[in-house]
Structure 1
Amino acid sequence: MARYEVILTKAAVKDADNIVAAGLAPKVRKLLALIEEDPFAPYPPYEKLLGNLTGLYSRRINIQHRLVYQVLTEEHRVKVLRMWSHYE
């Protein structure tokens, strides 16, 4: 299976500073590598988001923070929208 191109939005790039400061960078790097290989890999589990976030997915960074992303299947890209907070 071909790899997905991972793209970070401006908000996600901004979140990266908080991730580094909180010591969560190694965990986020692992999650980004995972979704680059397969954004639908079953472990660690992902959530399909609902409501105004329908079409987005999230994976847990820790108990408080989530990596929120959109899969652009046709383009073989994953757009990371946020990496900090919980669905803001």
Structure 2
Amino acid sequence: MVSWDLVYTNQAKRDAEKLSRSGLKPQAQKLLEILKENPHQNPPSYEKLVGDLAGAYSRRINIQHRLVYQVLEDIHTVKVIRMWSHYE
């Protein structure tokens, strides 16, 4: 199976630093590895977002923080949008 490419927005890169400082990096890394293998894998569960983030998906890093991403099927890429709270 071919793995998916991951690309990160500038916001996701800033969020990664926050995750590292807060001790949540291992949980996020686990989710990123799953996305590289199959962004539609279930479990862990994910939800399709609506509103400003319509077309994106969300997976829980912990009770408060989410990994928000878009799946770009045509170029076999997962675009990581956020890795902190998407409610801010």
TM-score tier, shorter chain, comes to over 0.9
Q: Deviations over 1:5-62 (max 9, x none)?
A: 0111110000111100110000000000000000000111000001221110010000
Q: Percent identity?
A: 55
Determine helix, strand or coil for the equivalent of 1:71: strand
Whether 1:42 aligns to 2:42 is yes
Letter of the structure 2 residue corresponding to residue 40 of structure 1: H
- Structure 1 runs (4+) greater than 3 angstroms displaced: none
Tell me the number of residue pairs that the alignment of Structure 1 and Structure 2 aligns.
88
Letter of the structure 2 residue corresponding to residue 48 of structure 1: K
TM-score (norm 2): 0.95
Provide structure 1 residue ranges, at least 5 long, that are not aligned to the other structure: none
**Which one has a larger percent helix, Structure 1 or Structure 2?**
2
Provide structure 2 residue ranges, at least 5 long, that are not aligned to the other structure: none
Whether 1:75 aligns to 2:70 is no
Matches within 5 A, 1:3-14: 3-14=3-14
